[in-house]
């Protein structure tokens, strides 16, 4: 569907406000070609539904492309809570954009509220999920979450740490099965105050298990 701008020019189809819907048939056709490419018979009984199943899976794993992450950053009316808030161990599952291979891990979010503005814990998890369910780089995923939280909540500071295992590293190539990649994004007060930053880092990494 092509809509027109008021001056008559066709509107670009990659308008941010309305991301394209998933074309399941097209994904399935591509998966069928992968099966043929590796020398399989896509029509044998075990594989017959595979292209459709994989298409559904990719639709789900990229559903965050079709969501607005800022919808999750609605500050709660709260009393004056100005102490650091840390939410640890938010499970994330994303897709590396270089290999379309999953990377899975934990996201930790710390922030220092300003003027009592806080965010429900489930909203932080939803924010991490919306950005995870896209083709990502772990570095970008980390800064996307931090920037959106920083802009939407306007806290004193934000710190996001992600630890993840990339199947493109653990299952192939150098096959470092236990290798984890750790990325962090530090904004506002955490950036200027090394003591607060190390306090948050200690709370994030000092696990009980
Ligand atoms: Zn990769």
Encode pLDDT of 72-106 as tens digits: 998 887 667 788 999 999 999 999 999 999 999 99
Q: What's the chain's average pLDDT?
A: 88
Q: Take residue 71 and report the two structure tokens written for it.
A: 């919808």
Largest CA distance in the chain: 64
Considering Cα of 167, then 172, then 173, then 175, what sign does the dihedral take? positive
Angle at the Cα of 182 (from 176 to 184), degrees rounded to 5?
165
Checking if the pLDDT of 154 tops 60, the result is: yes
Ligand 1 centroid – CA 138 distance (Å): 10
Give tens-digit pLDDT for 168-187: 888 877 667 778 999 999 99
Residue 138 is among the residues annotated as catalytic for this protein = yes
Q: Is the pTM of this model over 0.95?
A: no
Q: Indicate which residue of 36, 49, 60, 97 is catalytic.
A: 97
Checking if the pLDDT of 8 tops 60, the result is: no
Ligand 1 centroid – CA 38 distance (Å): 20
Q: Provide the pLDDT confidence category of residue 199 given band limits of 50, 70 and 90.
A: confident
């Amino acid at each position: 569907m092509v809509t027109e701008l008021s001056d008559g020019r066709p509107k670009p189809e990659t308008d941010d406000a309305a991301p394209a819907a998933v074309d399941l048939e097209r994904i399935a056709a591509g998966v069928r070609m992968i099966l043929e490419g590796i020398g399989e018979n896509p029509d044998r009984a075990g594989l017959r539904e595979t292209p459709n199943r994989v298409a559904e899976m990719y639709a789900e794993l990229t559903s965050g492309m079709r969501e607005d992450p800022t919808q999750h950053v609605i500050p709660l009316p709260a009393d004056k809570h100005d102490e650091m808030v840390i939410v640890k161990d938010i499970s994330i599952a994303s897709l590396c954009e270089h290999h379309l291979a999953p990377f899975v891990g934990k996201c930790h979010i710390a922030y220092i509220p300003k003027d009592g503005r806080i965010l429900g814990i489930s909203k932080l998890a939803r924010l991490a999920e919306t950005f995870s369910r896209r083709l990502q780089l772990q570095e970008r995923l980390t800064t996307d979450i931090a920037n959106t939280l920083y802009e939407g909540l306007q806290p004193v500071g934000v710190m996001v740490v992600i630890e993840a295992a990339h199947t493109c590293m653990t299952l192939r190539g150098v096959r470092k099965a236990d290798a984890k990649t750790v990325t962090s994004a530090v904004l506002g007060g955490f950036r200027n105050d090394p003591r607060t930053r190390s306090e948050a880092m200690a709370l994030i990494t000092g696990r009980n298990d």
